Amino acid sequence: MQIRIAIPSKGRISEPSVNLLEKAGIGLVDNSNRKLFSKTFDSDIDVMFTRAADIPDYVADGAADMGITGKDLIAERDADVEILYDLGFGKTRLVIAAPEDSDIQSVEDLKNIKTVATEFPFLTSQYFKQKGIDVKILALTGATEVAPLIGVADVISDLTSTGTTLKTNHLREIDTIFESSIVLIANKDSFKEKTTKINEIKLGISGVLHAEGKKLLMINVEKDKLEEIKAAIPGMGGPTISEIYGDDELVAVNSVISERDVFITLNKLRKLGAKDILVVPIERILQDY
């Protein structure tokens, strides 16, 4: 049963999407010359490269079974898709921003504006309708932040992650319209008809993300020090304890720990008498849903 996955052809989430598929084992057969379609190592899965903004529509319409895109783009297109998994990267906020030297200091002051420039006219108009404010929406396709400077808008509605671009253009955040991140989505009919394969893909991708920043810790310890050792290990759950063949005094302890805890944890364990310490990279952690 064939599955088509739509991912961005360019932009900030294009390469992370390709890398994620490759780490999940759904690597592209030939990524040297990006075409519209690409085969993968799994003959049942094809990848389609397209504009990130179009992916919600393609998935909703069934041109693609699955896709990787932003929640903001899904909401802007009002696309009826199945959100399978939040991939946890590409976090952004759609915000209202005004010139630093303007009289607009708060949401209350937005009642005095006339024009809003944005690449997100649907979400922006919904926001102002909810506020009961009648404004003109000026739909742009880029460089939204210069609209107040050249006098075509009073404020803008634009994406920001750190706020640096807004500050560089002397803009001040007034309010947040929408919080977004990158998600894995599916066509609703495909999700019903191709459930098994889609869930396999979801599991492969989520397994890679669960493993990020984690290491497998493997040590040998004397049995009488086991409780102290267990208390010193900040693992995902209780560590796995197993007997060592031919040695009645030692047991093997395995645990998954965060990469940021490795240095401190290893020093604690060494002081407690841990031996034969190994720290091993983890490629995937599979958790069924």
pLDDT tens across the length of the chain (289 residues): 899 999 999 888 889 999 999 999 998 876 655 678 888 898 999 999 999 999 999 999 999 999 999 999 999 999 999 999 999 898 999 999 999 999 999 999 899 899 999 999 999 999 999 999 999 999 998 889 999 999 999 999 999 998 888 998 899 999 999 999 999 999 999 999 999 999 999 999 999 999 999 999 999 999 888 888 888 888 666 788 888 887 788 899 999 999 999 999 999 999 999 999 999 999 988 876 5
Asked if residue 194 and residue 234 are part of one domain, the reply reads: no
Cβ atoms of 173 and 100 closer than 8 Å:
no
* Residue 216, helix vs strand vs coil: strand
Asked if residue 59 and residue 44 are part of one domain, the reply reads: yes
Reported in sequence order, the residue ranges of 191-264 that DSSP labels E, i.e. its strands, are 214-222, 240-244, 247-258
CATH of the domain at 43: 3.40.190.10
Asked if residue 99 and residue 25 are part of one domain, the reply reads: no
Residue 46 structure tokens? 């094809």
Residue 139's φ and ψ, nearest 5 degrees, are -80, 120
Query: Could you list the residue range(s) of the whole structural domain that residue 218 is in?
Result: 214-281
Q: Which residues lie below 8 Å from residue 77, measured CB to CB, with a gap of 6+?
A: 53, 56, 57, 60, 122
Nearest-angstrom CA–CA distance, 84 and 56: 13
Asked if residue 174 and residue 107 are part of one domain, the reply reads: yes
Asked if residue 220 and residue 204 are part of one domain, the reply reads: no
Asked if residue 8 and residue 84 are part of one domain, the reply reads: yes
Nearest-angstrom CA–CA distance, 248 and 244: 7
- Residue holding tokens 């420039």? 117
Q: Is residue 236 part of a domain?
A: yes
Q: Supply the pTM of this predicted model.
A: 0.85
Residue 92 structure tokens? 């952004």
